[in-house]
Amino acid sequence: MEEYGVNATQVQWLTTAFLLTTIVLIPMSGYLSNRFSTKALVVFALGCLAAGTVLGGVSAQFGTLVLSRVIQAVGAGIILPLVQTILLTVFPYERRGFAMGLLGAVINVAPASAPSISGMIIDVFDWRSLHWVILPLIIITLVAAVFTMKDVIKKQAARLDVLSIIVSALGSHCLF
């Protein structure tokens, strides 16, 4: 807030822009996974996460920082539902409960622990270091996906219901 000269209400746009973007993309995940290969989607999503993280780390203006969160949200909006689909495809029926439980633990622990860990990092370094701490993990995952990932979801004929996406986006935006 101090660096960009913005107030608490304006700072909330960092979270709001992220959530609104993911809310639009998550319902499109079924279409995307039918239209594009699993590997291409994962690489694209991780690329968005990496690009948004770098942009956020170097942003000189608040608007650029908000844009970086939108770019990150494109990646998150694709990867979150895709991970579930991949797990359900890769794991045999009798192991799916374990796989989904493990994913649920990660998804629930991360938001609970992130504020504390972020606070400790910011106490030692500045807020931009949050971007640089997570970036190597994203890049390692991206490189691993490029070189080792196989396509696991079979492509099917799919049609994007544009009207539903627009109505969903408008409805979600009205809530914010």
Tell me which residue range forms the domain holding 146. Answer: 8-175
- What average pLDDT does range 20-36 have in this prediction? 89
CATH number of the domain that 115 lies in?
A: 1.20.1250.20
Number of domains in the chain: 1
- What average pLDDT does range 113-117 have in this prediction? 90
Point out the least confidently predicted range of 54-63, 109-118, 156-165: 156-165
Give 61-91 pLDDT, tens digit per residue.
999 999 999 999 999 999 999 999 999 999 9
Determine, yes or no, domain membership for 3: no
Determine, yes or no, domain membership for 1: no
Residue closest to 71 by CA, chosen among 17, 120, 151, 12: 17
Provide the pLDDT for residue 140.
Answer: 98
DSSP-derived secondary structure for 81-126: HHHHHHHHHHS-GGGHHHHHHHHHHHHHHHHHHHHHHHHHHHHHS-
Provide the pLDDT for residue 154.
Answer: 82
* pTM for this predicted structure: 0.88
DSSP code of residue 25: H
Are 25 and 78 in contact by the 8 Å Cβ rule? The answer is yes
> Which string of b and e fits 29-51 if b means at least 16 CB within 10 Å?
beebbebbbbbebbbbbbbbbbb
Determine, yes or no, domain membership for 2: no
88 to each of 56, 81, 95, 152, 165, how far by Cα in Å? Answer: 33, 11, 9, 10, 25
Determine, yes or no, domain membership for 118: yes
